[in-house]
Structure formats: C-alpha cells, structure tokens
Structure 1
Amino acid sequence: MEKWVVSAKKADFKKISEQFGIDQVTARIIRNRDVLGEEAIEEYLHGNLEHLHEPKKMKDMERAVSILQEKIQKRKKIRIIGDYDIDGIQSVYILYSALRECRAAADYAIPDRMADGYGVNERLVRQAAEEGVDTILTCDNGIAAEAELALAKELGMTVIITDHHEVPYEQKEDGEKIFCIPPADAVVNPKQPNCPYPFKELCGGAVAFKLVQALFERMKFLPEKAFAYLENAAFATVGDVMPLTGENRILVKEGLKSLNRTKNYGMRALAARNQIELGKIKAYHIGFVLGPCLNASGRLDTAYRALKMLLAEDEQTAAEYAGDLYDLNVSRKEMTEQGVKQAVKQVEETSLKEDKVLVIYLPDCHESLAGIIAGRVRERYHRPVFVLTSGEDGVKGSGRSIESYSMYEEMSKCKELFTRFGGHPMAAGLSLPQEHVEQFRQRLNENTTLTDENLKGKIVIDVPMPLDYISKPLIQEMNLLEPFGKSNEKPIFADKNLHILSLQILGKNHNVCRMQVQSQGGTVMSAVYFGETEVFLDFLRGKFGNYALKQAMSGQNSEIRVSFIYYPEINVYNGRESLQIIVKNYC
C-alpha cells in the first residue's frame, strides 16, 4: 500500500490569493509545484509567447544559423538525421519543413530502430557521403555520436548538432567530469557546458524550433512564421515526457492552442481516427492517445510512416497514414500486455524480486517495446527497471527509473559493460553482449544506494480538502493550472471518513464504480472510480463485511466509511451540470 503524505510547503497563501485573485487552494497547489516569487507565479498563471527566451542565448546558435544560411544560398545538400520516437519525428518535421520554406536543398533520414539503433550511425554517415551530402544536421541526437560524427568530418562534411540529451563525460579520480563533445562545426544543446541558455529542459523538438526561430529571423521572415511549428514543439515536449515547468509549460500551453486549430492534414486525420475533436486536445491526449500512434510507427514499422503523415498534402493521404498508425498502435498495445505479463511472472517467480534495481531479460520480446514494458513494471513495483531483449548484435534494452535513482549516472559507473548507452536520469537505452547481462544486474544492485524507503510508493496530497469546499468556480479556476504532465501533475485532493450511501458497478467490462457519498460536513456528492472494481469491492468486503457491502449496493444506508484521494470535476449529463469527484485511490 502506498504511503499518503500531505505536502507541507509553506507560503503566505492568503497574500498570494489576494494578490493574484485566486483561491487559497490554487495558491497552495502552485506553491507545491515549487513556483516561488511574484514573477514566477505571474508567468505560471499567465505566461505567454513573450515569456519565451531568445534562441540566440543558446551556445553556437548564431554559428549554426550562419552555416545554414550559407549552405542554403549555395544550394548545398543538407541532410537532417533524426530519431524514430515522437521527439525525433517532430524534430525532423520542424527542420525539414522550415528548410523547405527557406528553399534549401534539404532531405532527411531516420535510423531504423532494429537495424540501426538510436541516432546517427556509421551507415547513415557513409550513405550521406556517397549521395553527395554537404551538411549533416542532427536533431534529437548526435551529442553522444563522437566516432560517427568524426567520420563525417573525415569524409569532408559539415556537421551541425541539435540535441537535448546529456553530454557524455569521463570522470577523473578526483570526481572532475571531462565532457566528450563530438567534432562538429556547431553544437546547439542547452545541456552542454558553458551554454548560457537559462532553461535546460527543452526537448529535441523545442531545440529544433528555437533553431528555426533564429534562422527565420536571419532570413528576414516575420516572427509569426516560426510559430507555425509551435504545435510540433509542444507535441514533442509532452511526448518525450519533459518537465512542464518554466519555458516548457509556455511552449505546451501555447502549442496546444495551435494544435487545436491545426491546419496540418496529418494531425487532423490522426485526431479524427482516434475520435478526438479538434478544440478538445489536451496534454493527456498527446501523452496517451496521439503520441503512442507516432511512436508505434518507429517501434513496429518505420518512423518514415509517421513523418509522411505529418508531411501529407491532402486529406486522403493523411487519413491513410493515420489509419496505419492507429492500427500499429493497437498491435503495440496487445504485444505490450503480453510482455508485461512475462516480466511480472519473471519477477514473482525468481530471485529478482529481492533486487532493488530490476534487470529483466525477455529475449523474445520485440525490442522496441522494452521501454514501455519497463515503465509498466516500474509502476507496479516502484523500482528502477531495465527490460532487455535479444537483438541482432547482442542484447538491447531500455530502462525507466524512479525519482531517487539517476539511470544515466548509475550506468556510467559500469559503462565498460556496454557497447553503447545513453539517456536521462529517468530513462535510458543500452546495448551489451549477452554474457554481460547477469554482471550488469549484479553491478547495478551492488552499487545502488537506494533504501527501502526510496522503494515505497508515495502519494503526495496537495490539499486535504473536504468535499464541502468544492465549487464550480474552484474547478474552473483549476484550468489555469493546465497543461498537466511531468513536474506539473494534476492536483491531488483527499477527504476522510466519507460515508458511502450507495454503490453500483457499471460499464461493459464492469470497470466503473459509481457511488453517492456524504462528507462529515453533510455534503452529498457523486464519486466515480475507474479501475479494478473487484479489488475495490474486496477491500470494502474485507474491512466492513459482506452485509455492509450488500446494503451499499442495494442503496440502503450502510456503515461504510472510507478515505478517498480524488480530483473534482463538473459532470455534464443531458445538459445538466453537477459536481462530482473522480476517485484515484482509497483506504
């Protein structure tokens, strides 16, 4: 059972409430998101495009733009090399479309997930040289490709890197880090040393968008022209699970506005195929509905399919590609479910369950699904998880972490085991010989400083708020807090000793529990729980007995009293509005 804790961050909530014209509950939530000071609160509540940082502040940005301008004018062949995930696909789309606007001689290449692995590689570099490419422009990759880009320079090509991943480094005995930056003519990455750009958490698509802003300014285009790609940068930011704080929050908030009135045939077709109305797309839909369709192309087929959907020039072509991506995602979901079952079985039936860092080897699993399966297993066990699969050249894998464990740092401690690795604190990718698998598992667990406390699931409650306090204006005010996502999660409320007056199970799969509950203050409200209803009923039966549960299910006055973690919303049914809570957890 997770531990429930109330966030106890302090501030003068009354003053913030009065100053910004918001409820004290909203003020508490903003403080819980570590938004401090008048300027930051103002930007959080009302940040807009004017609050974005100048692209020129990024190290090498001016240099990259100068090189591109010269190559465009001389009609030199530019090849964009991206990646096969959401961020990589959107980055390629942004750069390719923008360079075409500048009348550049540009094309693109995306590595094949199975044959090439992540990012720019020797095959793509040699192919570019053979085809007379003058300039390689990377996006969402390149910062870890020292050998590959050194080869590009040897073959006489100009190299521009745009990336957002951690810069690889060697650590000396005294702890000093020596950063290994590939030999490129320009490196645009806010995470590189000595880059003065004030916000470091941009995704690859956002870095590409910044480059386009700077390039369009140099080419004397109107500033608005670059904002055509805001929706793609926003999509990439959510799809790559970047923190929705600071500049990212503005990019996504404004980008969602653009996305909801998009003229892009591909995006319109994908929304329609998933039965999402334009005007109603939220960050959630990118993360859990639309984004996975783009990812499915790179996982099970080729990312070119997703890119061609975005580049489609008529409705029919776009609809065909959108249908393909939708179908691929359905297959991906089924394969993922099988993989998760196998992974859980392995943990439960072997000594793995004693490990603090789970390394699960599923040789027959589709390697592109390793990351998703790792994420699902992490949610179940609240531990860092690596899922490894058999590839053509040894073992490949992906990891998903918890907040108290930096995957990239920990992997750097045993990097001699890998043929290749890279990533973030929260996610990583790797390749290693099969004979190193067990050693990898042992080393990670020997080195780890994770404690039992780190491995306990924890739910942080923003505000312990009685149902009596919920109102329509408060719920509407919550819209100011969107978009929700990593580091700006949907607020969590809690109330205790709620009396269940009635309870019924609904839905085709019996996965909806609708209740009438009464607070200690006497407020009666509808409460809805989506999920494992059988487990919930077992919990009630175990705590209050079968008779009490039967009373509640027949609408009689039961003695069942529970605590709920919830989110309030306005329910609209047959044109009538009512307040209700969506139950996230119970005890």
Structure 2
Amino acid sequence: MEKWVVCAKRADFQKISQEFGIDPVIARLIRNRDVEGTENIRSYLYGTLKELPSPWLLKDMDKAVEILQEKIKEHRKIRIIGDYDIDGVTSTCILLKGFQRLGADADTYIPDRIKDGYGIHEQLIQKAVEDGIDTIVTCDNGIAASAEIADAKERGLTVVITDHHDIPFQETENGKEWIIPPADAVINPKQADCAYPNKNLCGAVVAWKLIWALYEKNGISQSEVLDFTELAAVATVGDVMDLQGENRIIVKEGLRQLSATHTPGLRALIRANNLDGAEITAYHVGFVLGPCINASGRLDTAARSLELLCETNEEKAAELAGDLLALNQSRKAMTEKGKEEAIRLIEETGLNEDRVLVVYLPDCHESLAGIIAGRIREKYHKPVFVLTKGENSVKGSGRSIEAYSMYEEMVKCGDLLIQFGGHPMAAGLSIEEKNVELFRKQLNANCTLTEEELRPKIVIDVPMPVSYLSRELTEQLKILEPFGKGNTKPIFAQKGLRVLNLRIFGKNQNVAKMKLEDQTGMQMDAVYFGEAEKFADFVRQQEEISVTYYPEINVYQGRETLQVVIRNYC
C-alpha cells in the first residue's frame, strides 16, 4: 500500500500571489519545489538564457580552450569519443558541429554498445594512434577511465575530458579519495574544486559549455551558441536531469525552439512520430522522440542517430528518422518480453524477498537492461539490477530509489566487478558470471533500507476540493512546465468523493470515465487510465473514495470541458 503524505512547506502564499499575479495555489506549488525568495521565484517563472552561468566557471575550461585553440590552429586531428545514449549522441553532435564551425579537423567515434562497451577503451586509443589522431575529446564519458587515459598519454595523445558522471573515489582512513584521470584538461562540474554552481548538468550541456567558451574566444555571435539549446534540452530531459534552475531554463527555451526547429533531422523525427505542428513538451522528448534516438544505440549503432542529427538533406533525414522509428518499435516489443521474464523470475524464485533485486536474464539483449530495470523498479519500488550475458562477461544496468545511492553501494562491492560507474539513481557494470550470485548476496547483506523506505510514497502538493478548480487555474498551471525530475507534475487530492456514471473504454479496456461528486453535490468529469476493471471493482465496493488528481482541459469534437485525471485512489 502506498503512503500518502501532504507536502506542507510554509511561505506567505498570498503575498507571492499578489507580487507575481498568480493564484495562491500556484504559489504553494512553487514553494513545494523548493523555490524561495523573490529573485528565485522570478527566475523560475520568467528566467531566460541570459541568466545561465558563464562556461568559464567550469574547472579546466581555460586549459581546454587554450589546448583546442592551438590544435585547431595547427590543423591537428581531433577525435570526439562519445557514448551511445541520447546524452552521448547529442553531446557528440554539439562538439562536432562546434569544432567544424571553428575550422577544426575533427571526426567522431561513438563506441558500439556490444563490441566496445561504454566509454573510452584501449582498442579505441589504439585505433586513434593508427589513424594519426593528435587529440581525443571525450563527451559523456571519461571520468572513470583513469587507466585508459594514462595509456593514451603514454602513447603521446592529448586528452580533454568533458563528462558529468560522479567522480570515482576510494575509501581511505581519511575519508574519500577522489580519482581524477591524468588528462590534459578535465571538465566536469562534479569535481569538488569546480566553481560552477550547477553540479547537475548532463553531458551535452558540459560539451555545449566548451563550445560556448570557444565561440566566445573566437568572437562568434552568441546567437550561434544558442542554436544548440534544443539539443541541450533534448539531452537534459532524455538523461533525466533535475529540471531546476539552469536546467529548467535550458529545457523551457529548448522545447520552444524544438517546436519550430530548423534542424532537418529533428524535424524529420518529429514528423515521423506524427507530431508535426504540435507543441513539443518534455513528455514528447522523454517518451516519444528520445527513445527513437536511443533505439539505434541499443539495437544497431548510435552512429545512425548522430547521422540523423547532423543530416542537412530533408529526404535523407526522413529516411533515417523512419529507420529509427522502426527500431524503436522493435525495442518496445523486446522490452516487454524481457520485463515479463524478469517478473516471472522474481515471483517464482523467491527474489522478491530481497531488498535489492538482482535479476539475471542471460538471453536478453544487453542494451535493454536499463529500461527493464526501470520498469521493475516501478513495480516493486526497490533498487534493481538487470544483468545480461555479453560476449566476454555479464553486463548490466541498475535503477534505484531515492533512499539508495546505487553508485556508492557498488563501490562497496567493487572487488566483485570488472568495471562499473554511474550515479546514485542509475549505474552500469560488467561482472564475471561466477560472481553474479555473490554480488546479489553482498548487495543485500550491505543494504540498510528500512520497510518504510521501501514503501512507495505519494507526495500530495495540495489537498484541494475539485470544486475549487477553474479553467483559469488549470491554464495557469502551464507556467510551471516543463515537468520532469525535480519539477514534477503537481498532485492534488480530495477525499469523500462519490463515483457516478462509470464507463470503461479503450481497445484494452484501460480507460474509465465517470463523474466525481463531492459532499456539496458539485460534480466534475473525471478519467482514469490504467487497469480500469480493477478500478471499477474497487469503486463498486465503496460509498466514497479518495483520489489524487491533476486537472486538464479536455477537447472533444471541438468542445472544451474541464476534467480531472485520477492518478491514485484509495
């Protein structure tokens, strides 16, 4: 059973309401997202790209710019080594387009998920040497590759790291000892001595900041710098960064650009997904466009997604977008099959007793492990690792819950792992097959999660009667967008509601429509998406129910009506 709690943060909501011309409910929602003080509220509501911190605040930015200026001037060969997910592909694209604009002799290599694995490896360094490369610039990887970077330096290569992942460390008697690779410049806001205020940038924004600084140094117009905002926004949403402060501004402005994009590849992808002319939201990026970009790196090669983003020919872009759409359809079917197998194993082998789930699916495509782990986490509300059989070792991905720092827990099991890296909420690893069961046991032996922490929590923003709703308030909620991690869609709640005229619709019987009546007799249209029959059975047994909800304007056959979308019920 979920635990419902009310967010009760205090502020003078009437004063904020009057100062900014917003409903007091909106003022409360902003405070619930930890936005306080006149200047921060103003930035949240009306912030622009002019407010983004200077790229020069990033540690080693001056070093990296000086190195790259010299390399470009001397026509040295530069190779960008990216990653095969949405953040890695977009950051590679930003660096490539930026370097080309500066006249650099630059090419790219995005590792193959199966053949190369994540990040920079010995074979990629060897290939760079054979190809006469002078300088490697990483994006969305490199911070955990100290040995590989040392190897590259020994072979005479210059290396600039741009990354955003957690800095590797080892525990010593004096606490954590950070392990920084011996690159010529390391740009990563998570370094302890980095002055950049936002520690939660995605890899593409870090790469963008490098191009931003280089453009400034070379007197290139800021309008050209800001052309990359849409790619930075796609990566920020796709890599599930917190939509707060700078990230929120980037996504807000980037989505505005994306809805009328001049980039042929993005335009083709939008069209292929039947979104032409639509207002592109964070939802579309996270659940429609983003998965298509990711699909090529999962089932084929991420070079195809990079090719789409860089393509200038409309016809070719349309062809590439169609290919990615088809790949994503295949990925969806394979994911569903893997999820069902994982659930069967958990239920039939007693794994559901574990507080940390480690599920080994040897026949599952290794690129789907992270998605399946996410689905399993949603079902069981536990940290989950899904492991698959790779060519040389077992590989896997993990997805966590707020109370469990996945990366730090993996450090404690580091002796069992061949390689690992990631964040508190997500991680990747490789391990020998003989150590899989040991890994599961050690994670659970170390686990300190309590029953309370494992219980899903529904945080209600405002307990609010549906009778308070109005079209004006519902429209005003749009100023809180874009919604996502760190700026979640508001949740309202009311108890003591009667359900009237319940009907079930949908090809899969997954939509329930009804009217909700409160104790004053006021009625409101409502809809529930999910297991509609289960919902209907529950309602039949109750005189009154409690719901969490979100209001929306429903448009049907040209008519607009106010309705609530039920999220949870009890």
CA distance in 2, matches of 1:15, 1:258: 34
CA distance in 2, matches of 1:39, 1:172: 42
Alpha-carbon offset, residue 518 of structure 1: 1.7
CA distance in 2, matches of 1:258, 1:187: 30
CA contact (8 A) 1:136 1:160 kept: yes
- 1:397-428 deviation digits (Å, cap 9, x = unpaired): 00000000000011111101110000000000
CA contact (8 A) 2:514 2:527 kept: yes
Greater mean alpha carbon deviation, residues 232-241 or residues 499-508: 499-508
- What's the secondary structure of 1:269's corresponding residue? helix
CA distance in 1, matches of 2:139, 2:130: 21
CA distance in 2, matches of 1:421, 1:278: 42
Residue in structure 2 matched with residue 333 of structure 1 by the alignment: 332
Asked if 1:83 corresponds to 2:83, the answer is yes
CA distance in 2, matches of 1:141, 1:484: 27
Asked if 1:576 corresponds to 2:559, the answer is yes
Asked if 1:173 corresponds to 2:173, the answer is yes
Residue in structure 1 matched with residue 232 of structure 2 by the alignment: 233
CA distance in 2, matches of 1:520, 1:197: 53
CA distance in 1, matches of 2:497, 2:192: 53
- What's the secondary structure of 1:112's corresponding residue? coil
Residue in structure 1 matched with residue 471 of structure 2 by the alignment: 472
CA contact (8 A) 1:83 1:139 kept: yes
CA distance in 2, matches of 1:538, 1:397: 39
Which residues in structure 2 correspond to 1:120-519 (within 5 Å)?
120-174=120-174, 176-519=175-518
Residue in structure 1 matched with residue 4 of structure 2 by the alignment: 4
CA distance in 1, matches of 2:68, 2:60: 12
Alpha-carbon offset, residue 171 of structure 1: 1.0
CA distance in 2, matches of 1:570, 1:277: 21
Alpha-carbon spacing, 1:466–1:242, altered in 2? closer, same or farther (3 Å): same
- What's the secondary structure of 1:26's corresponding residue? helix
Alpha-carbon offset, residue 48 of structure 1: 0.7
- What's the secondary structure of 1:489's corresponding residue? coil
- What's the secondary structure of 2:53's corresponding residue? coil
- 1:156-188 deviation digits (Å, cap 9, x = unpaired): 1110000000111111034x1111111111111
CA contact (8 A) 1:512 1:528 kept: yes
User: What amino acid maps onto 2:545 in structure 1?
Assistant: V
- 1:59-83 deviation digits (Å, cap 9, x = unpaired): 1111111111111111110000000
CA distance in 2, matches of 1:500, 1:437: 49
CA contact (8 A) 1:143 1:168 kept: yes
CA contact (8 A) 2:502 2:536 kept: no
- What's the secondary structure of 1:453's corresponding residue? helix
CA distance in 1, matches of 2:276, 2:522: 35
- What's the secondary structure of 1:454's corresponding residue? helix
CA contact (8 A) 1:371 1:397 kept: yes
User: What amino acid maps onto 1:251 in structure 2?
Assistant: I
User: Which segments of 5 or more consecutive residues in structure 2 lack a partner in the other structure?
Assistant: none
CA distance in 2, matches of 1:539, 1:66: 66
- What's the secondary structure of 1:404's corresponding residue? coil
Alpha-carbon offset, residue 279 of structure 1: 4.5
Counting aligned pairs with the same residue, the percent is 61
User: What amino acid maps onto 2:306 in structure 1?
Assistant: L
Residue in structure 2 matched with residue 564 of structure 1 by the alignment: 547
TM-score (norm 2): 0.99
Residue in structure 1 matched with residue 63 of structure 2 by the alignment: 63
- 1:442-474 deviation digits (Å, cap 9, x = unpaired): 111111110000000110000011011111111
CA distance in 1, matches of 2:522, 2:78: 65
User: What amino acid maps onto 1:571 in structure 2?
Assistant: N
User: What amino acid maps onto 2:261 in structure 1?
Assistant: T
User: What amino acid maps onto 1:5 in structure 2?
Assistant: V
CA contact (8 A) 2:498 2:545 kept: yes
Residue in structure 2 matched with residue 22 of structure 1 by the alignment: 22
Which residues in structure 2 correspond to 1:101-116 (within 5 Å)?
101-116=101-116
Alpha-carbon offset, residue 347 of structure 1: 0.9
CA distance in 2, matches of 1:296, 1:70: 37
CA contact (8 A) 1:268 1:278 kept: no
Residue in structure 2 matched with residue 39 of structure 1 by the alignment: 39
Alpha-carbon offset, residue 281 of structure 1: 0.5
CA distance in 1, matches of 2:183, 2:520: 66
Residue in structure 2 matched with residue 557 of structure 1 by the alignment: none
- What's the secondary structure of 2:228's corresponding residue? helix
CA distance in 2, matches of 1:8, 1:396: 43
- 1:36-94 deviation digits (Å, cap 9, x = unpaired): 22221111111111110000011111111111111111111000000000000000000
TM-score (norm 1): 0.96
- What's the secondary structure of 1:377's corresponding residue? helix
CA contact (8 A) 1:261 1:279 kept: no
User: Which segments of 5 or more consecutive residues in structure 1 lack a partner in the other structure?
Assistant: 545-559
User: What amino acid maps onto 1:98 in structure 2?
Assistant: G
- What's the secondary structure of 1:127's corresponding residue? helix
CA contact (8 A) 1:468 1:521 kept: no
Alpha-carbon offset, residue 193 of structure 1: 2.1
- What's the secondary structure of 1:521's corresponding residue? coil
Alpha-carbon offset, residue 19 of structure 1: 1.7
Alpha-carbon offset, residue 277 of structure 1: 2.6
- 1:288-318 deviation digits (Å, cap 9, x = unpaired): 1110011110000000010111111111111
